[in-house]
């Protein structure tokens, strides 16, 4: 089993209200040369959680962090004009909390972070590290984090 130290939250960078499935993201990622969807979970607009890669498999979602992380994405993250925005529906927010709570209990000590904490992008279009800090015992982002 892999040692999981991070749970990394992403968005699909699709416009608000655009329905996106794990099967669709899987097609996008295969077109980019991935063997399958890079995320372990995708949360649809209605809050449905779809499984992507098995948790036992290394993800393809955050360069330099895939070996020790679980990738969770929600459908959305941008306005129709392409501007980054927190487009999560109430159902997505509730499902994210439930899923992240399960993952943190499954991987004690894992810290929840946003993709933007590791890459120069807006993803997931909100501060996941701050929003979910209490789910991992109030652990804050370390000061030496790569940006």
Q: How far is residue 13 from each of residues 9, 79, 102, measured CA to CA in Å? A: 12, 9, 25
| Per-residue model confidence (pLDDT) at position 143 | 41
User: Residue 9 in contact with residue 113, Cβ under 8 Å?
Assistant: yes
The active-site residue out of 11, 39, 41, 65 is 39
Distance CA 47, CA 92 (A): 4
Annotated catalytic residue 140: no
The per-residue pLDDT for 1 is 72
- Which entry of 11, 40, 65, 123 is annotated as an active-site residue? 123
Q: From the candidates 74, 115, 132, 136, which is the catalytic residue?
A: 115
Can 115 be counted among the known catalytic residues?
Answer: yes
Per-block average pLDDT, block size 10, for the chain (147 residues)? Answer: 94 96 97 96 98 97 97 97 97 97 95 96 96 77 41
Do 37 and 29 meet the contact criterion of CB atoms below 8 Å apart? Answer: yes
DSSP at 119: S
State the pLDDT at residue 142: 47
All domains in the chain, ordered by first residue:
6-136 (3.40.80.10)
Is 123 tagged catalytic? yes
The pLDDT of residue 138 is 57
Token pair, residue 65, equals: 């962090």
């Amino acid at each position: 089993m892999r040692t999981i130290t991070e749970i990394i939250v992403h968005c699909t960078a699709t416009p608000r209200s655009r329905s996106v499935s794990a099967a669709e993201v899987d097609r996008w990622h295969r077109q980019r040369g991935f063997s399958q969807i890079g995320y372990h979970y995708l949360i649809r607009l209605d809050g449905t959680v779809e499984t992507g890669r098995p948790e036992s498999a290394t993800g393809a979602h955050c360069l330099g962090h895939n070996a020790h992380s679980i990738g969770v994405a929600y459908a959305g993250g941008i306005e129709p004009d392409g501007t980054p925005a927190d487009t999560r529906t109430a159902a997505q927010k509730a499902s994210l909390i439930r899923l992240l709570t399960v993952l943190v209990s499954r991987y004690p000590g894992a810290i929840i972070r946003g993709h933007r904490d590791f890459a120069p992008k807006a993803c997931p279009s909100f501060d996941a590290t701050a929003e979910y800090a209490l789910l991992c015992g109030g652990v804050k982002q370390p000061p030496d984090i790569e940006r």
